[in-house]
Amino acid sequence: MNTDKNNAGGRAGAREALLAGVRGLALAAAMLPVAVLISTLAVCSLATIPLGIGIVTTPPLLGAVRAFADKRRELAEEWAGILIPAVYRPVPEDANPWTRLMVVLGDPQTWRDMRWLYLDMSAGYVTALLPAVLVLWPLEGFALAAGLWRVLAGGEHGTYWYGFVPVTGQLSAFAAAALAAAVLVAGLRYAPRLLRAHFTLTRALLIPTQAELAERVRVLTETRRDAVDTSAAELRRIERDLHDGAQARLVAMGMDLGTIEMLLDKDPGQAKALLAQARRNSAEALNELRDLVHGIHPPVLAERGLGDAVRALALRLPVETEVSVELPGRADAPVESAAYFAVSEVLTNAVKHSGADRIWVDLHHADGRLRITVTDNGTGGAAVRPGSGLAGVERRLGTFDGVLAVSSPAGGPTMVTMEIPCVLS
């Protein structure tokens, strides 16, 4: 029984070591040429910023560096179980080239990626290649002992060196095989650890500083607090609307019904009139309750999703509104709700303040982000000011790590862009 367990454990260890060797070889073979290429292009692009060329070329090239680093983060988690957080500053897709450049260059994570890239071509390359050497190089030693030495050594070929072993004949080929066996034993033991060391080094270079993580926690704490305050205010609004609207009508209807009971025998005509009034009160109370529920969570949003809910919202506007939707699935309900009410607030602002006669809404999902743009042909001048509707939208999106960007020059047009990280089901 113990022998079977030992054999199974040995086979599992061998598979793990071989897998680490193959993965290390794949990393070493792929990362060096890619790292050299994108680092050279990025440095050349940075050097041409004063000439104006780098203003356009630097953001996409640094984006390639980021994609390369993101792929290593993904492999670190998948192959070694090492999580490497990434904290990048969001770059609005509709920003002009200069703004994009300033955001990218002002992001500390950009420079961490660049530092990691250069070390990845040296120490990172070695730590990735070592597992492959320890696991795969012994195959050559065993092949020499099996007869390959006759092709590689002796005669006109002279001495063939396998490590520090000169192979000239069968006896020396056996010595090479002995060295290969020793290396293989070391590989079976240390190859997985060396591969993990490679990703540990990657994590040490790419992980944000404590100050940045603390700032991230502060921002998230603030947005969560805003979300709680918003929820409390919404609850108070619902209670006020119930008290002043539907509840008052229901109380009045109850009083009318009591009066009707007393008038049924004495004055049937007056009782009939009060019955009609009670019926009207009940219908109005029902409508108010429906409006209240609609304000909490529109039924069309729950039943048909964000795209159709925004289309229904657009149909109620007094301004011609065109809605374009490319959503292959649905986001989580809280994200959909936040996006819906954010769009509703932006559309309300456009109708009230922009003077526009046409509005365009575009919703699509790409690269793990829900992106919504609302554009109007109004007079412009919109901005995120404290206490404004757009500030409230920004706080609402911030609860989900979303961002808001506003482009609204004097004279228009106005484009409001909202992005929320999410996955679709």
Long-range CB contacts for residues 212-220, cutoff 8 Å, separation at least 24: 212/87, 212/108, 213/85, 213/87, 216/87, 219/398, 220/401
Q: Express each pLDDT in 232-259 by its tens digit.
A: 555 565 566 565 566 666 666 777 677 7
Specify the pLDDT at position 340.
87
More confident residue, 418 or 295: 418
285, 250 in Cβ contact below 8 A?
yes
Whether 41 has a pLDDT exceeding 90, the answer reads yes
pTM, 2 dp = 0.52
Can you give the pLDDT at residue 219? 61
The answer to whether 46 and 12 have CB atoms below 8 angstroms apart is: no
> Percent of the chain having pLDDT more than 90?
11
pLDDT at 57: 92
Give the DSSP H/E element, type plus range, for residue 75.
helix 53-80
Could you tell me how far CA 6 lies from the centroid of its own chain?
A: 44
pLDDT digits over 282-317, tens only?
Answer: 777 666 666 555 555 567 777 888 888 889 888 888
Mean of per-residue pLDDT scores for the chain? 81
pLDDT attached to residue 42: 92
User: Phi and psi for 344 in degrees, rounded to 5?
Assistant: -60, -45
For residue 207, the model assigns a pLDDT of: 83
pLDDT digits (tens, 9 = 90+) for 216-229: 666 666 656 655 55
Residue 281 or 356, more confident: 356
Q: Which residue has the higher pLDDT, 372 or 151?
A: 372
Q: Whole-angstrom Cα distance, residue 169 to residue 184?
A: 22
Would you say 39 and 114 are in contact if contact means Cβ atoms under 8 Å apart?
yes
Hey, which residues does 405 pair with through a beta bridge?
Answer: 417
Q: Given the structure tokens 């992106």, which residue do they identify?
A: 371
Order the strands of the 414-421 sheet from edge to edge: 320-326, 358-366, 369-376, 414-421, 403-407
H or E element: which one contains 29? helix 2-47
Residue 22 dihedral angles phi and psi, to the nearest 5°: -65, -40
Residue 12 confidence (pLDDT) = 76
40: confidence class by pLDDT, cuts 50, 70, 90:
very high
Residue 339 has a pLDDT of 87
